[in-house]
Structure 1
Amino acid sequence: MIEWECLLADGHFDALVDAGEPRFVAGQEDDGCVVFALSPRLSATLAAAEQPELERAATAWSRRRKEDGEIIDGEVAKSILSGLAALAGTARSRGEGVYCWVAQDSRRRPK
C-alpha cells in the first residue's frame, strides 16, 4: 500500500511510515493476518485515477517488486490496481473506507 501511495499520490516512503500509514486496523499474531486501512489520500487518488495512470503505476509497481525478487505479472498488477480503484470509487461515493487484509504465506513462515 505504501508503494501504491508513492506511485500514485507522490507519497514518500519515510513520510508515510512516520505518519503511521498504512493505518493498522486489526490483526492476529497467531496466523499472521493483518488488516490495514487505505489512507484517505490514497483512496481519493485511486478513485480519481484514469486508466493510463493506473497502468503506469502498475508497470512501475511490477518492476519494483521484480527488483526485490518478487514477481508480479504486469497484467495482474494492472488488474489489481484497476479493481482497487473501482472499489475505492464505490467506497468513497458511499462515505466508506477501504481496507486491505493481508495473510502471511504459511510456506514463508519461519519454523
Structure 2
Amino acid sequence: MSIVIKFFVAPDREAAAGVAEGGPDGVFESLTFGNFDVEEALIEWESIFTGQSFEEVLEDDVPETVVDPDDGERPLVLAVSRTLQVALSAAGEDRLTEVGRLWVAERAADGDVFEPEIAAWILNGLANLARTLNDEDESLYCWVA
C-alpha cells in the first residue's frame, strides 16, 4: 500500500482540519513524502531531538490527531508538536544529519531500510518548513492518505 504524506503550515487547527478530505494542495504550501509510518517517525524524531524515550513522548499524546474522519482509515490530519517544531527550526544541518542517522538506525533495528541521505533530506525539508512559522498560532501539520 502506498502512503502519501504532506506536511504543511496552517494558521490554526480549524484550517488544518479543513483539508482532511482533499489534502493541502491548492490551499497551503506543502512538502510531499511517502511510504513511511509518519506517526511513528514524529515520535521518534521528537525522542531523538529531546533525549526522551519513545514511551515518554508517546505519553504526551504525540502526535496529536486533528481530524480522523474515517476513524483510523486515511486520510487524516496530525499536528506536529510544538516541541518538535522548535527543535526542527533551531537545528543546523549537522544536527539534522545526526538526527537522520539515528532515525535510520532505529528503523533498521525494526527491519525498515532508509538511506541516510533520504532521512536528512526529509528532516531538512521539515526544518525549512518549520522556519516559515511566523506567529504563535501557526503550526506544522501532516496530512496522510
Q: TM-score, normalised by structure 2?
A: 0.64
Higher relative contact order (CA 8 A, sep 6+): 2
Q: Which runs of 5+ in 1 are unaligned?
A: 104-111
* SS of corresponding position for 2:131: helix
1:81 is aligned, of 100, 115, 123, to 123
Q: Does 1:7 align with 2:48?
A: yes
Using structure 1 for the length normalisation, give the TM-score: 0.82
Task: State, as a whole percentage, how many aligned pairs show the same letter.
Answer: 35
Q: Which residue type is aligned with residue 67 of structure 2?
A: A
In the TM superposition, residue 64 of structure 1 has moved relative to its aligned partner by: 1.1
Give RMSD over aligned pairs: 1.6
In structure 2, the gaps of 5 or more residues are 1-41
Answering whether residue 46 of structure 2 is matched by residue 16 of structure 1, we say no
Matches within 5 A, 1:14-93: 14-29=55-70, 31-91=73-133, 93=134
Measure how far apart 1:33 and its partner are. Answer: 2.5
Q: For 2:144 and 2:116, how far apart are their aligned partners in 1?
A: 21
SS of the residue corresponding to residue 66 of structure 2 reads strand
Match of 1:65, as an amino acid? R
Count how many residue pairs are aligned between Structure 1 and Structure 2. 102
